[in-house]
Structure 1
């Protein structure tokens, strides 16, 4: 695990909770789940002729999928950074940013987590913006009360930052 809240192409920021859940999932896949699949292969192999043994081929396919999942999780966790960002009211990776678009009322404010897409299942339904996305790139380094402009699909958009919080889930 790296020790910086700066996310580069080599690192992926994950909350501590997400990191722990993914680590537990990897342990399950490498342990009990892998043993289950191997038992399925053995049982199907014991049925005889492997050429026409659908159960055997299905179990081998499941084994391939499982090994692919394991490799993906291992690669993700090797690149993971779960350092809690500093609570300094400056937008950075790992923070929730509440902002409103120019001309909108405060009750139309949006909150987004600045993080990589790998956090989508662990963000509690909060929309995620990557630090490399146009809005994420514009927000990084800004503070509460700052107005930033970024290029949207239909032209420039200006947002005002209302609140910044460290994401802890």
Structure 2
């Protein structure tokens, strides 16, 4: 079984979510189910069915997080010393060569990727194109809407 890489910060975020699900959400849902049961007939009890559905989702997420964290390999990016080369955990400043738009991403494990937070999965096309490059390098990759060209304006590790 291969171990999925994850940053230390990502591991802490997932462990925090897992703890919240177990200690806050699970007891709240159990209480909601008990209260809905007290209302009587469960066949037409929408509150009961909604609480059971929420319980199912929460238990599934708990199982998913436990499995993912048990196989994850935590990599402390502050201990890496790749210089200006882009490797796992790098925070990369990019400039779109066509539009001049600047953007910053961090390359993280698949488990913690979230494009809204500018966390790129190491397996994504742009991250694969970035790995091994250095500051001031230009590169291109195939995006869903065509070929994109960027220049790396900075690489750092926090």
TM-score range with shorter-chain normalisation?
0.7 to 0.9
Paired position in structure 1 for 2:74:
82
SS of 1:141's equivalent in the other structure is: coil
Paired position in structure 1 for 2:141:
150
Paired position in structure 1 for 2:11:
19
Question: Taking structure 1 as reference, are residues 47 and 111 closer, same or farther at Cα in structure 2, changes over 3 Å only?
Answer: closer
State the distance in 2 between where 1:50 and 1:126 align. Answer: 41
Question: Taking structure 1 as reference, are residues 50 and 17 closer, same or farther at Cα in structure 2, changes over 3 Å only?
Answer: same
Equivalent residues in 2 for 1:34-45 (5 A)? 34-45=26-37
Q: Which runs of 5+ in 2 are unaligned?
A: none
Bigger Cα displacement from structure 2, 21-30 vs 47-56: 47-56
Per-residue deviation at 1:28? 2.2
2:131 aligned to which of 128, 140, 160:
140
Please state which structure has a larger fraction of its residues in strand.
Answer: 2
Query: Could you give the per-residue CA deviations for residues 110-166 of structure 1, whole angstroms, max 9, x where no partner exists?
Result: 322222463328xxx6534333333221210112233334344434x5433221111
2:108 aligned to which of 103, 115, 118:
115
Q: How many residues align?
A: 152
State the distance in 2 between where 1:49 and 1:126 align. Answer: 44
Per-residue deviation at 1:104? 7.0
TM-score by length of 1: 0.70
Per-residue deviation at 1:23? 1.0
Please state which structure has a larger fraction of its residues in helix.
Answer: 2
Q: Is the 8 A contact 1:87 1:165 kept in 2?
A: no
